[in-house]
Structure 1
Amino acid sequence: MRGKLELLSLLQLLEDEIMALTHGSQACGGGYNLLRTKLDELCEFMVRDETIRQWKVWGRDKEIQNQAERLREASLEALCNVEKYVSQSISLEEWGASPYLNHLFHSVKGEWQSFGMDGRSKLLFIGAGALPISVLTFAKEFGSTALGIDIDPATVGLANRAAKACGLETLVRFSDEKLSGLAFRREATHIMIASLVKNKHEVLKQLKETTRDDVEIMVRFGNGVKSIFNYPFEYGLTRDWLPVQIIESNPIYDTVILHKSASQVGKAVLA
């Protein structure tokens, strides 16, 4: 029981500290560096051997799960605020030394290799955010067309500003269009779903009959202890998409690559 109480108190403390820094930064318009540092601490806590060990013992406990969910909501709200703040003033070369951003930046090239991307690829990124590293680095590397979507108009405005700052506005655009009415989803050869997208199964349901038969979908997610900073995803629950590769090399999130199942091939309405 001592191990459970220790883990529970640490999760509660992290939530309280992140929420306090988030509210403080919103109230005074500053303090985002402190908030970013606290998110870095959360990432470091998440990958510690001791945290992983405790999670294996207590991760299925209801109190632990409920507290982990509250921490996740607090950390994701904080991350969105930090990304908006950072996106207002930086260029691609100045994107800081945050462990989270570095993990994301360096993982992108490895993901491209697994994802089979090249200069002919067309990328749709769902849940791009205000600091769309993956989309911009893809366009810069391959010179290919990309579209990122996000539900927040303010986030979209900042993402388009970042694309212009990086000189990539002719290749990349960002939109708050709903996925259901997005024509580009029929053209995309590759689709990425961000770990911060909550309703991943609903997104896949929308994509199954309106995408190419050879489309490749990469889903970022975090199960187990990684769920304190990512929305989880049970990829074995869908019959319409088949997991062809699972990538667990990133310490912050995991990735699964999906192809259409045989039952869905030939059903797409692309007109």
Structure 2
Amino acid sequence: MDEHTTPTPREPSAEAHTLHHRLRHFRDRFRAAADGYDRSTRQAAELEELMADYSILVTDEHHIELFAQLEHSRPAELATLTTELRTQSARCAAVTEKYRALRLIEGQTGTDGYFANVETCIDQEFGALAPTRESAVLLIGSGSFPMTLLTIAERTGASVTGLDIDPEAVELGRRVVKTLAGTPDITLECRPIEELPFTAEATHIVFSSTVETKYDLLERLHPITRDDVVVAMRFGDGLKSLFNYPRQDVNPEHWQQISTVHHPNQVFDVAVYTKPDHAGKAG
């Protein structure tokens, strides 16, 4: 081989080819499921099973090496597929929450695999800087079934507020809160972060992993939030980027990452940020 010849990428293994085929199949099923949402629960069980299966795929450590093979051998194709999967699975995560909310409102109950996976992450979001009864917690991307807010309110008694850009999700979320929470201090809003007075009061902010613009929003939050605010940014890199928007660099003059909470068996990991002069001081 000529020394100037570019090496041919190594052909992925048969298992990697199988994973690639499965990912394309998930993408197509996600798109069809999201497009088919009709504000009823007729297709709820099928989508919940699909989401649970996808959660298993993106948390299976055996797939990490197979995914790396695909990244190396066909980077452009996999980048496009990953973007499509991230978009369509985020749509389906939102629809799955709507199904769960509708079923609760209709008197049905149950926790499928996807929600069970998410709920087990909540306790570990902030580590030593976890919210207390005196805290004010803002969740960006609260969805139709705001389990994070419900859990924080129940376990700590903190004041909690959720934001979402989907008016239907906010309305369903309010009905879920009314059904499950009764009197706890939980508010759900559909408005820009700059127009919400609670933003300036928040001691803790949680970003959903499926919020595409979360790092742009983080930058917008800097001038309008407390100096001691703590931010838990849910994200997914590598294999988990198939289901979550990945971590990005931040302006070091505005934010610094003080810790990362890795969840090997969960669908997302968490990066914790504070403002540079207040690392480790919030509570």
Q: TM-score surpassing 0.5? A: yes
Question: 1:237 Cα shift?
Answer: 3.5
Name the residue aligned to 2:24: 12
What corresponds to 1:267 in structure 2? Answer: none
* Cα deviation, residue 113, structure 1: 4.1
Aligned equivalents of 2:39, 2:211: Cα separation in 1: 27
* Other structure's SS at 1:88 match: helix
Provide the rounded CA distance (Å) in 1 between the counterparts of 2:142 and 2:63.
29
Give unpaired runs (5+ residues) of structure 2: 1-10, 279-283
1:130 to 139, 144, 158: 144
Q: AA paired with 2:175?
A: R
Whose radius of gyration is greater, 1 or 2? Answer: 2
Does the 8 A contact of 1:125 with 1:193 survive in 2?
yes
2:162 corresponding residue in structure 1 = 148
Aligned partner (choices 167, 171, 174) of residue 181 of structure 2? 167
Aligned twin of 2:232: 218
What TM-score does the superposition give when structure 2 sets the normalisation length?
Answer: 0.85
The answer for the alignment partner of 1:42 in structure 2 is: 54
Distance in 2 (CA, whole Å) between partners of 1:95 and 1:208 is 39
Which of 217, 220, 238 in structure 1 is aligned with 2:251?
238
Displacement of 1:110? 2.4
Give the RMSD, CA atoms, in angstroms.
Answer: 2.3
Partner Cα distance (1:22, 1:198) in 2: 17
Q: 1:119 aligns with which of 123, 128, 133?
A: 133
Q: Note the C-alpha offset of 1:205.
A: 1.2
1:10-159 equivalence runs, <5 A: 10-26=22-38, 30-59=42-71, 61-90=75-104, 96-111=110-125, 113-159=127-173
Q: Deviations over 1:184-232 (max 9, x none)?
A: 1111111111101111221111111111111101100111110111111
Select which of 191, 215, 229 maps to 2:205: 191
Moved more, 53-62 or 17-26: 17-26
Given the alignment, which residue of 264, 275, 279 partners 1:260? 275
Kindly provide the CA deviation profile for residues 133-190 of structure 1, in whole angstroms up to 9, marking residues without a partner as x.
Answer: 0001111111221110001111101111111111345400100011121111111111
Aligned 8 A contact 2:150 2:181 in 1 = no
SS in 2 for 1:26: coil
Inter-CA distance 176–208: structure 2 relative to 1 (3 Å threshold): same
Q: In structure 2, what residue type is equivalent to 1:256?
A: A
Taking a change above 3 Å as real, the CA distance of residues 168 and 29 of structure 1, as seen in their structure-2 partners, is: closer
- Count residues with an aligned counterpart: 262
Q: Distance in 2 between matches of 1:47 and 1:71?
A: 15
Other structure's SS at 2:218 match? helix
For structure 1, the 5+ residue unaligned runs are 264-271
Contact 2:55 2:114 in 1 (8 A): yes
Distance in 2 between the 1:64 and 1:119 partners? 45
Q: 1:26 to 1:94 in 2, by over 3 A?
A: closer
Residues of 1 paired with 2:12 and 2:204: CA distance? 47
